[in-house]
Structure 1
Amino acid sequence: MPTTPALRSLEEHRAAALQLAAPLPAVVVALADALGLVLAQDVTTDAPLPRWDNSAMDGYAVRAEDVRDASPSTPVTLRVVADLPAGSSHRPTVGPGTAARIMTGAPVPAGADAIVPVEDTDAGTVTVRVGAPKVVGQHVRRAGEDAVPGDLVVAAGTLLGPAHVAAVASVGVAEVAVHRRPRVAVVSTGDELVAPGKPLAHGQIPDSNSWLLAAAVRDAGGEALRLGPVGDDPVALRDLLHGLDGTVDAIVTSGGVSVGAFDVVKAALLHEPDVAFVPVAVQPGKPQGLGRLPGGTPVFTLPGNPVSSFVSFELFVRPALLRMRGLVEVERPTTTAVVVDGWRTPPARAQVMPVRFVAPESDGRHVDTVPPAHGQRTDEHATSAPRHPRVVRATAGGSGSHLVARLAVAEGLAVVPAEIEQVAPGDLVTVLRITP
């Protein structure tokens, strides 16, 4: 009689999933295409930023010495010798008793050491009357104030957002080396699955998993190749997966990995030496598989119940895809939350409960400012300001692995350690935030 594999802990399986992932090779892209990608090489500057002293205001470039005694009652009159818009290549010199009209961003002319804002003058074009004193350097942006040659502007491993793109552009770089997005094939399996919108026979259901997982791949920054649904034919599935091997960066399947008589993914890959099917001590999502196909492509085989597929993707696949993108930080943001309703947990298995956040109680009750240990009750009658958000199960069915319709209201996943037997109202839990 075959032996039942020992349960693998959530942490062990997560580590095994991450071992399949490495940053994808760098490619060079135009800066216009870099948003949302991860920088593969540091960007530094070979010139000072700003490149020259420039004006921080629309006004007049002057010698501070000439206007140090200016006041509204005793304005100083200066002769205007130049007009300097931003981008001007003109290089006048401001001498004693003169000024240059200047726009924000224009280079400060030689001889000038301060800028008088236009509102402190009579805005003349031939002469200007200055009615406020200025000191050396006032309203002048100094060369190198932002960065000096050799400074690191954006570090490798940075997920490029709009501000990063602007910083790269500011040093005159038009192309950057980035890690490309992982291309991921998503395959849902099962004779019972029908594409959404198609007529359903008795015993058939719409395929939601391929849509769920393809959207999750894109949400994780990857490119999804959605395939399926694929029927319960092990030979055909094996041929499909081997055909994908080497053409994509990862494969994610759903369904067919448990101990039933028609577990097609398990049958298709059972003899692959580098693919392992293991039970994981987590609920939902106990039946899992992962490894590499002969060509080296990582494959993640997830259970078929939709909530199990979603939770498994969040715990095991999403972190691996983020690592492929070149990110170092692959964790979802977490928060400590107070449980409002409470629930039972499965024995000896970590539980991942879809939850939603709820508003603070209207009667002003809230929790201690110091978090107790997991499972310890909080003092809901404290008088200090609230410190923790409150959560309830996303659906009355809890973490039932088939409850896909109610999964849409989930805002987080509460992760309960395997040693906890029950979560009671008032307990604290760690919640992975899955919505912004």
Structure 2
Amino acid sequence: MSLLPVEQALAAILARVPPVGTERVALSAAAGRVLAAPLVATHDQPPFHASAMDGYALRAADVSEGTALKIIGMSQAGSGFAGALGPGEAVRIFTGAPLPPGADTVIMQEQAVREGDMVRFTAPARLGHSVRPKGNDFAKGDVLIEAGARLTPMQISVAAAANQAELAVARRPRIGLLATGDELVLPGSALGPDQIVASNSFGLAALLAPYADDIEDHGIVGDEDALLRARLDQAFAAAPDILVTTGGASVGEHDLVQDALKDLGVSLDFWRINMRPGKPLMFGTRGQTLVFGLPGNPVSAMVTAIMFIKPALRAWLGHPEPDHWRLPLAAPTPPNSARRHYMRARLVHTPDGPQVLPISQTDSGHTSSLAHADLLIVQPENDPGQSAGTNVEVLPIDAF
């Protein structure tokens, strides 16, 4: 069976992702969620001409050297001056307060000399100065945040300013995880002579949590057919939107996951990808559940999750794919094989700007090298290797 190109595998996965579902959440719970509908302003901000300074509101034409204006009242934030400003008059005003009708300028208090109910100024008036015009921040009908944006604290702030107590956000999927392998034990266990500490589910849970409504870890199951099927059946009974298994994805004597998934009603779309690390990747569906069978080697599991599960989750939420970067190499890359290589690399800052430093380690079980990586260099199939200074395609590992 030939290896499936990365683009074809990704297209097959994205074709199975359902349309974006929507729910409304309180503004206080919306940070980090993906906006499902554009946020459109329903009022002008500010809703009136407002002062940007503590000082005096006046008509610029009335200010000249030696001239004093009569103070006729006060305008405070939340309590504006009720009347209108006439010639030769001024109103004491504070930051954020409405500008009285008839006024067109504010002079700050540091440039004013008050004498009883009169005020004169030590600086000339500049028409419109220190006035925030109505709608200066945003106007009714403005699109403040586009659909598909992952809501940042700054966007939460503008949503609050737009008088939104709730926002329509994308419904997040429920994700199940199951690790397989006789050799695996949980972190913190006393290790036997043939045992390995399980890391995949912990790394994947952290990687996928920003996209998920809930992640249920179904633990570790050994390489025994009946136990594996029973545990998979339990995992499906929890009705996840997405189920991710790790291990047992190859075709060895102890790689039982593919047959077990098929017997439990999973329709597999593919199971081998032309890439490294991560060739033995499975993908299929069981009803409405998307099923990913990732390799057991930790680097392979994490890289395939970055390359295939994260794009599926972004599509699920309606969030656009991040752009890949192009950066110069800080050191040469070796020749590549016929499989596309997602090479671990570090982002380094040089006097000439940011560069990408390849990590020479390629072992698919070498977790410490992946922990030091910031980027994946996308090395094409049969690439002859590139010299230092060459611009190459890179993918930030931590991109949402």
Equivalent in 158, 166, 172 of residue 181 of structure 1:
172
- Return the alpha-carbon distance in structure 2 between the equivalents of residues 357 and 137 of structure 1: 48
Aligned residue identity for 2:381: A
> Out of 274, 279, 284, which is 1:281 matched to?
274
Counterpart in the other structure of 2:343: 353
Matched, 1:161 2:160: no
1:28 corresponds to: 24
- Give the counterpart of 1:418 among 375, 381, 398: 381
**Which of 384, 401, 405 is 2:368 aligned to?**
405
SS at structure 2 position matched to 1:38: coil
Contact 2:324-2:393 within 8 A present in 1 as well: no
The amino acid of 1:269's aligned partner reads L
User: Closer, same or farther in 2 for the Cα pair 1:86/1:169, shift >3 Å?
Assistant: same
Change in CA separation of 1:433 and 1:90 when aligned onto 2, cut-off 3 Å: same
Distance in 1 between residues matched to 2:309 and 2:116, nearest whole Å: 66
Aligned residue in 2 for 1:259: 251
Q: Determine if the alignment matches structure 1 residue 196 to structure 2 residue 179.
A: no
Alignment correspondent of 2:283: 290
**Residue in structure 2 matching 1:49, options 24, 45, 55:** 45
Q: Indicate the residue corresponding to 2:297 in structure 1.
A: 305
Shift of 1:24: 3.9
Q: Is the 8 A contact 2:175 2:212 kept in 1?
A: no
Q: Structure 1 114/258 Cα, relative in aligned 2: closer, same or farther at 3 Å?
A: same
Cα distance change on mapping 1:153 and 1:331 into 2, 3 Å = closer
> 1:212 aligned to 2:173?
no
Deviates more, 1:425-434 or 1:8-17: 425-434
Q: What's the CA shift for 1:138?
A: 2.4
Q: Which moved more, 1:280-289 or 1:18-27?
A: 18-27
CA contact (8 A) 1:275 1:292 kept: yes
Percent identity, aligned pairs only?
37
CA contact (8 A) 1:337 1:431 kept: no
Deviation at residue 49 of structure 1 after TM alignment: 2.1
Structure 1 unaligned spans of 5+: 365-385
Match of residue 389 from structure 1: 355
Question: In 2 relative to 1, CA 389–169 (structure 1 residues): closer, same or farther, beyond 3 Å?
Answer: same
Structure-2 separation of matches of 1:113 and 1:424: 63
8 Å Cα contact 2:223-2:254 kept in structure 1: yes
SS of aligned partner of 1:181? coil
Residue 340 of structure 1: how far off its partner (Å) = 1.0
- TM-score for both structures, normalised by structure 2: 0.92
Q: Determine if contact 2:271/2:280 at 8 Å carries over to the other structure.
A: yes
Q: Call closer, same or farther: CA 1:24–1:247 in 2, change over 3 Å.
A: farther
Distance 1:402 1:419 in 2: 23
The number of equivalent residue pairs is 397
- SS for the counterpart of 2:96 is coil
Q: Which amino acid aligns with 1:63?
A: R
> CA separation of 1:249/1:115 partners in 2, compared to 1, >3 Å: closer, same or farther?
same
Question: Which amino acid is 2:240 matched to?
Answer: V
Please tell me whether the aligned partners of residues 91 and 110 of structure 1 are also in contact (alpha carbons under 8 angstroms).
no
Cα RMSD for the two superposed structures: 2.3
Q: Which digits, 9 at most, give the CA deviation of each residue in 1:361-387, with x for residues without a partner?
A: xxx8xxxxxxxxxxxxxxxxxxxxx46
CA distance in 1, matches of 2:17, 2:137: 37
Partner residue, 2:77: 86
The residue number in structure 2 matching 1:137 is 128
Within a 5 Å distance, the mapping from 1:242-257 to structure 2 comes to 242-245=233-236, 247-257=239-249
Q: Hey, what's the Cα distance between the residues in 2 that align with 1:402 and 1:286?
A: 14
- Which SS does the other structure have where 2:216 is aligned? strand
Distance 1:220 1:430, change over 3 A: farther
Give the Å deviation of 1:300: 0.8
Partner SS for 2:57: strand
For residues 393-435 of structure 1, give each alpha carbon's deviation from its aligned partner in whole angstroms, at most 9, with x where no partner exists: 1xx4x22111113321111111111131445555543221224
CA offset digits 1:27-56 (Å, max 9, x no partner) = 111111111111112222232222111111
